[in-house]
Amino acid sequence: MKYEIKNLTKNFIINGRTHEVIRNLNLSGDTDEITVILGKSGCGKTTLLKILCGLESHDSGELIFPKGKNLSMVFQEPRLMPWLNTFKNITLGLEKSDIDKNKILSLIELVGLKGFEEAFPSQLSGGMQHRAALARALACEPEMILMDEPFSALDYFTRAAMQKELLLIHEKTRMGGIFVTHNIDEALLLGDHICIMADGKISHEIFREPSEGMRDLLDEKTIALKQTILSEFERTIQ
């Protein structure tokens, strides 16, 4: 399914002064591809995702976007409920009657938490908590998910493993979404469609051939892309 964001604008009023965080942002894409939004911290990425999933209002613009049950979000922090075990955290958004135990167990296996169904968040490592948070978003079987720098707090090895898993999940379920990051390598690894966000809008878009399996960050095409992205950032700073 196609989604579209047209002329989105969002201002925050801080101490009586208006701060324009998003101005005339346009973006469109498909719910089954991974769109990466790449931008410096503070450029409004979180605000954009919150607007898309209804946690924040916007001032003007039009959103043609999945809503409610068709959309879920993975936050920057795992945000698990400390009093619920892994299984119950993952099924938090489902009605009791809708819980298909086998489906959830295979989802738990997919995110690599098999054997930890009964563990509480305080008994999981940071990486495992992020996996549980991802599974919670997937359990609702939305049309697409929004991910707000979900791996930025993780160490290099855990992050690499999670990126691999995310691509694997995408391949298996064909569920895509918007992935926000400030990490260029992460954007290059995950995105079929990379959007650079600066000055409150999408300043540059890159479309790539859908990849088979993991992308190689060291192949010539990718290195060239990285240079394009870097020079694009240079340009927007000036």
Ligand X SMILES: Nc1ncnc2c1ncn2[C@@H]1O[C@H](COP(=O)(O)OP(=O)(O)O)[C@@H](O)[C@H]1O
**Contacts to another protein by CB under 8 A:** 53-55, 68-69, 72-73, 75, 77, 79, 81-83, 92-93, 120-123, 140
Is the separation of the CB atoms in 195 and 205 below 8 Å?
A: yes
Of 42-50, 125-133, 199-207, 208-216: span binding Mg ion (CB under 5 A): 42-50
Of 39-47, 58-66, 120-128, 133-141: span binding Mg ion (CB under 5 A): 39-47
Say whether residue 43 binds ligand X (CB under 6 A).
yes
Binding mask 13-42 for ligand X (x = CB under 6 A): -x------x-----------------x-xx
Of 158, 163, 204, the C-alpha closest to 187 is 163
| DSSP assignment letter at 65 | -
Can you tell me the distance from the alpha carbon of 178 to that of 73, in angstroms, rounded to the nearest whole number?
9
Residue 233 contacts which entry, another protein, Mg ion, ligand X, none (Cβ below 5-8 A, type-dependent): none
- Which of 8, 27, 36, 44 touches ligand X (CB under 6 A)? 44
Residue 21 contacts which entry, ligand X, Mg ion, another protein, none (Cβ below 5-8 A, type-dependent): ligand X
Closer Cβ to ligand X, 56 or 205, answer by number = 56
Q: Which residue's CB atom is positioned nearest to ligand X?
A: 46
Q: What residues contact 6, with CB distance under 8 A and at least 6 apart?
A: 26, 61, 62, 63, 64
Residue 83 contacts which entry, another protein, Mg ion, ligand X, none (Cβ below 5-8 A, type-dependent): another protein
Minimum CB–partner distance for residue 200 and Mg ion (Å): 14
Per-residue tokens: 147: 């991910």
Dihedral (CA of 51, 56, 60, 65) sign: positive
Say whether residue 218 binds ligand X (CB under 6 A).
no
Dihedral (CA of 147, 86, 111, 3) sign: negative
Can you tell me the distance from the alpha carbon of 180 to that of 146, in angstroms, rounded to the nearest whole number?
8
Closer Cβ to ligand X, 63 or 119, answer by number = 63
Say whether residue 120 binds ligand X (CB under 6 A).
no
Backbone angles phi, psi at 26, to 5 degrees: -120, 135
Cα dist. 161→17, 42, 59, 91, 176 in Å? 43, 27, 39, 24, 18
| DSSP assignment letter at 69 | G
Of 123, 139, 125, the C-alpha closest to 88 is 139
Minimum CB–partner distance for residue 21 and Mg ion (Å): 11
Closer Cβ to another protein, 42 or 68, answer by number = 68
Chain positions contacting Mg ion, by CB under 5 A:
46
Give contact residues for ligand X (rule: CB under 6 A).
12, 14, 21, 39, 41-47
